Amino acid sequence: MSGPSQTAAPAEDQVSGPTAWRVLRVPVPDSLDAPEAWGVHGTVRVGEAVDREIHGHTDLALDAATTLVSMTAQQEYKKTVRLVAVALGARGGEPDRTPAASDVVGRGMVGLPQKGNTHVAIVYAGVDPDHRGQGVGTALWEEGLRIAREAGRTVILSDSSHSPEPPAGPGALESPTGSGRVPLDDPGTRFALSRGFSLEQVMRHSAISLPPRQDVVARLREAARAAAADRYRVHLWQDTVPEDWIDEFAVLETRMSTDAPSGGLDLEEDPWDADRVRAASRSFADRGQGYLIAVAEHVATGRLAGFSMVSYPHDRPEVVVQEDTLVLREHRGHQLGMLVKIAVLDELARVRPSSRRIHTWNAQENRHMLAINEALGFEVASVDAEWQLRLA
Ligand SMILES: CC(C)(COP(=O)(O)OP(=O)(O)OC[C@H]1O[C@@H](n2cnc3c(N)ncnc32)[C@H](O)[C@@H]1OP(=O)(O)O)[C@@H](O)C(=O)NCCC(=O)NCCS
C-alpha cells in the first residue's frame, strides 16, 4: 500500500513558523536496521515524546517492532497506514535525501477495520511537544482524513490522553455517559473540538504496582473460588490459544466487541474466527511480546464463560498491559471476572517475575469492571477521551 518514498500529502512543502515539513507515508522497511526504517524509528521517537509529556513515562509508547508489525500483519482485519511529518528546514530540505528519525516532528495513523465496522476509520495525530502550534498536527490530520474519505469511511474515531482527570467544573468537559471528564484547556481537547469531534466516552487508565497486596488478593481469591465452586474450571494459556479451544475463544473475542460499554461510539460487532485468533497470536510474537490468558470453563457444558488476558513486551521487563477481560452475560454474577483476573496475576508472578506494573483501560461507566480492579489495588493514572466525528 505504501512505497518507500511515496509522498502521501500533495507534495507542497509546508513552511510556517520555525519548522518547514512534509507529510509522508511511513515506508515499510525490510528490517528495523534498514535505512528505510527511519520512519518507524521517527514514529517511535515522537510517540515517546508525547507520552513523556502526558504520563511522565514511556511504558505505553509504541515500540519499533509494534509500529512495523502494525503496517504488515493482520491487514485483512485492520489496514493501518502510518504517516510522519518530516522537518525539512534544519538541513536545507533536500527532497531526495533519506530523512533521519530525528527529522520526524509528528506522527499520524489511520486504522481501517476490514471485517466489522467498515464505516469507521480511526485517525490519530501526535506532534513532538517542541514543534506544536505550527500546523503539523493539522497537516497530519488532514491527510489522515483524506485517506479515510478515500476508503469510504463515514465515522472517524480518535482519542487523546490526559493526566490527571480534572475536577468537575468549568475547566472540564463531561462525558455524555455521565462518567468521567477531560480538561478543556488541553491541546488534544482543543484540537478535537475545533475539528468537529464530539466526546462520546471517557476511559479510565489505571495501574497496579506488582506484587499486589497478598492479604487482599488471598481474600478475594478465596471468595471468587467459593462463588465459582466446582461449576467453573480455570485454564491458563501462555503465548498460544490451544486449537481445541480456538473457536470458543473467537466467540469470546467477538462478544468483547459488543459487550464492553462503548458510550455513544458508532461501533458494531467485530467478528473473530479461529484464523483471526491465530493471526493475533502470531502478531504478539512478531512484536516481541508475550501473553497470558486465563479462561473459565463452564464444566456442565464444556463452554468458555469468560477470560482475562495480559500482554507484555519482552524488552520492557517491568511492563504489563491488561488486554480484554470478559464474562459472558449468561455467566455473570459468579465472580468469574475476579477469578480469571487473579488467575492471571498468580501465573504472571510465576512465569514473569520481573513484572512491576499492569496498565489497564476501562470505560468510566463500567462499574463492575472498575470495582474488580479497585478491589485488587489498581489506581487511576490518567483518562482517555474517545472522540467521534460523523462525516457529512
Ligand atoms: C493535538 C496535537 C496533535 C496538535 O498538534 P499541533 O502540531 O500543535 O497542531 P496544529 O499546530 O496543527 O494545531 C494546533 C493549534 O495551533 C494552531 N495553528 C495551526 N497552524 C498554526 C500556525 N501556523 N501557527 C500557529 N498556530 C497554528 C491551530 O489553529 C490549532 O488550534 P486549535 O487546536 O484551536 O485548532 C498535539 O497537541 C499533540 O500531539 N497532542 C497529544 C496527542 C493528542 O492529543 N492528539 C490528538 C488526538 S485527537
- Could you report the per-residue pLDDT of 332-362, keeping only the tens digit for each? 999 999 999 999 999 999 999 999 999 999 9
- CA dist 352 and 321 (Å) reads 13
**What integer pLDDT is reported at residue 96 of this predicted model?**
61
- Cis bond before residue 183 (omega within 30° of 0): no
Q: Is 182 helix (H, G, I), strand (E, B) or coil?
A: strand
Find the length of the chain.
Answer: 392
Centroid of chain to Cα 336: 25
- CA dist 164 and 6 (Å) reads 39
User: Any idea what DSSP says for residue 30?
Assistant: S
CB of 132 within 6 A of ligand 1: the answer is: yes
Cell of 281: 497470536
Question: For 314-337, how does the pLDDT look when each residue is reduced to its tens digit (9 = 90+)?
Answer: 999 999 999 999 999 999 999 999
Q: What is the 141 CA–ligand 1 centroid distance (Å)?
A: 10
Q: What is the 2 CA–ligand 1 centroid distance (Å)?
A: 26
Which of 3.20.20.140, 3.40.1440.60, 3.40.630.30, 1.20.810.10 would CATH assign to domain 14-153?
3.40.630.30
- CA dist 130 and 235 (Å) reads 48
CA-based end-to-end distance of the chain? 27
**Single-letter amino acid code for the residue at 354:** S
Per CATH, 14-153 and 211-355 having the same topology is answered yes
CATH number corresponding to 211-355: 3.40.630.30
**What integer pLDDT is reported at residue 15 of this predicted model?**
53
Q: Among 391, 378, 219, which Cα is nearest to 310's?
A: 378
Residue ranges of the alpha helices (H) in 56-135? 64-72
Q: Among 73, 71, 88, which Cα is nearest to 37's?
A: 71
CB of 50 within 6 A of ligand 1: the answer is: yes
Give the residue ranges of the chain where pLDDT is below 50: 1-11, 91-92
Structural domain boundaries in the chain:
14-153, 211-355
Q: What is the 125 CA–ligand 1 centroid distance (Å)?
A: 9
Classify 169 in phi/psi space as left (phi over 0), alpha (psi -120 to 50) or beta: left
What is the best residue among 127, 173, 383 to mutate for testing ligand 1's pocket, by most ligand atoms within 8 Å of CB?
127
CB of 124 within 6 A of ligand 1: the answer is: yes
- CA dist 232 and 78 (Å) reads 34
CB of 160 within 6 A of ligand 1: the answer is: yes
- CA dist 265 and 200 (Å) reads 6
337 neighbors 369 (Cβ within 8 angstroms): yes
| 254 Cβ contact list (under 8 Å, min separation 6) | 269, 270, 271, 272
Q: Are strands 155-162 and 120-127 parallel, antiparallel or unpaired?
A: parallel
Q: What is the 384 CA–ligand 1 centroid distance (Å)?
A: 18
Centroid of chain to Cα 139: 23
Residue ranges of the alpha helices (H) in 20-135? 38-55, 64-72
Residue ranges of the alpha helices (H) in the chain? 38-55, 64-72, 136-150, 187-194, 214-228, 246-259, 274-286, 336-351, 367-376
Beta bridge partners of 390: 155
Task: List, as one string, the DSSP characters of 293-327.
Answer: EEEEEETTTTEEEEEEEEEEETTSTTEEEEEEEEE
The maximal CA–CA distance of the chain, rounded, in angstroms, is: 71
**Inter-axis angle of helices 38-55 and 64-72, nearest 10:** 120
